[in-house]
Amino acid sequence: MKRALVLLIAIPLIWVLFNILSHGAILTTGNMVNLFKYMSVTGILATGMTLVIGAGYIDLSVGSLLGFLGAVNAWLLMTGWPLWTTLLVGILLAILLGSLHGFIVAWLRVPAFIATLSGLLAYTGLKQYLANPVIPIRNETLLRLGQGNVYGIPICVLVLGLSAILCHFLATRTKQGRYVFALGSNREAARYAGIPVRGITVFAFALMGLMAFLAGITATSQLMAGAADIGDYQEMYAIAACVLGGASLRGGTGNVWMSLLGAVLMASILNGMEQMGIASTVQKVILGLILTMAVAVDQALGIPDCNRT
């Protein structure tokens, strides 16, 4: 509760501060809508990353994976595949690749950092090969995901909300979700308690793969194309959002809704810097410093991590 209160106070303060510094460019209807539209990709990834981190792992591949999956879907559409068949193929491929990471970690005992770093490199190469040059998306139904609104609410924000509801339900209302955080708390104790450690590991990474797919089609529909640079740095933003939301990198804790607040906080800072005209290279430096300071202050003040929900 203490962390949630801090974030809920900090986010509006950041809006007001940047609104003053940007001479009123932040607190406009158009800018706030855009802020939530473009944090939807990071937010979708953060919902799945909460469970991966909760299990005591990390997934560095999701940024390049979302770009690769988006490029695959754009390419299939360009070659004449029907939309729903394309989406089904994308979902199956995403779950398969996520499960592959889980298999490598659980059965081959490769550290998650190395397994997913390898994935990051592989998917980066594949998306650059597939989406160079850019693959335009002309399917109006898919484009509505990134460009359309329902009663004034961007559809991509609704997809983010559904992703959060799904991951929160899995984390709090299913035994697999509870096992995820038990695994992160104490792997040996979880094994002795009869929890299927390998299966739960695959479950967490497979869910992350599905979230990467949703983030991928959201990002490509927003940009109206599959491109080689889609997804760059998104894994870092998703991990940072979870950490700001209270997920411990040691595992055992995490909260999907808190991770979303962390994503909103990061998006607010980035949006504010963009409205002020700060160069993107400087933005990354500032964001890195803010994340480091936030975690350091958090540890120094002893603000407790959020519950495992």
* 205-242 pLDDT per residue, tens: 999 999 999 999 999 999 999 999 999 989 999 999 99
Q: pTM of the predicted model, to two decimals? A: 0.94
Q: What is the mean pLDDT of residues 287-292?
A: 81
- Work out the burial of residue 144: count CB atoms within 10 Å of its CB; fewer than 13 is exposed, 13-18 middle, 19 or more buried: middle
Closest C-alpha to 262, from 305, 302, 219, 231: 305
Residues in the chain, overall count: 309
Q: Let me know if residue 25 belongs to a domain.
A: no
Check residue 277 and give left, alpha or beta (phi > 0: left; psi -120 to 50: alpha): left
- Does the residue 15 lie in any domain? no
Cα Rg, the chain, nearest whole Å: 19
Which is nearest to 283 in space by CA: 261, 268, 263, 293? 268
Q: Is residue 12 part of a domain?
A: no
Residue 36 CB partners (closer than 8 Å, separation 6+) = 154, 157, 264, 267
> Residue 7 falls within a domain, yes or no?
no
Amino acid at 1: M
Domain that holds residue 281: 33-301
In a domain, 231, yes or no: yes
Is residue 292 predicted with pLDDT exceeding 90? Answer: no
Residue 232 lies in a domain: yes
Strand partners, 226: 135
Q: The CATH number of the domain where 57 resides is what?
A: 1.10.3470
What distance separates the 2 farthest-apart alpha carbons in the chain? 59
Q: What's the distance, CA 42 to chain centroid?
A: 4
Q: Is the dihedral of CA 29, 33, 36, 39 positive or negative?
A: negative
Residue 21 has pLDDT above 70, yes or no: yes
Q: Please tell me the total count of domains within the chain.
A: 1
In a domain, 237, yes or no: yes
DSSP string, 129-156: HHTSS-EE---HHHHHHHH-EETTEEHH
Strand positions, DSSP E, 14-105: none
d(CA 58, CA 75): 29
Q: What is the tens place of the pLDDT at every residue in 136-186?
A: 999 999 999 999 999 889 999 999 999 999 999 999 999 999 999 999 999
- 3-class DSSP assignment, residue 60: coil
Q: Which residue has the tokens 């984390």?
A: 171
Would you say 40 and 160 are in contact if contact means Cβ atoms under 8 Å apart?
Answer: yes
Residue appearing with tokens 């975690």? 295
Q: How far apart are CA 190 and CA 180, in angstroms?
A: 10
150 phi and psi angles, rounded to 5 deg: -125, 115
Decide if 162 contacts 43 (C-beta within 8 A): no
Q: Burial of 143 by CB count in 10 Å (0-12 exposed, 13-18 middle, 19+ buried)?
A: middle
Position 195 confidence tier, pLDDT thresholds 50, 70, 90? very high
pLDDT, tens only, 88-139: 999 999 999 999 999 999 999 999 999 999 999 999 999 999 998 899 999 9
Is residue 133, in this structure, part of any structural domain at all? yes
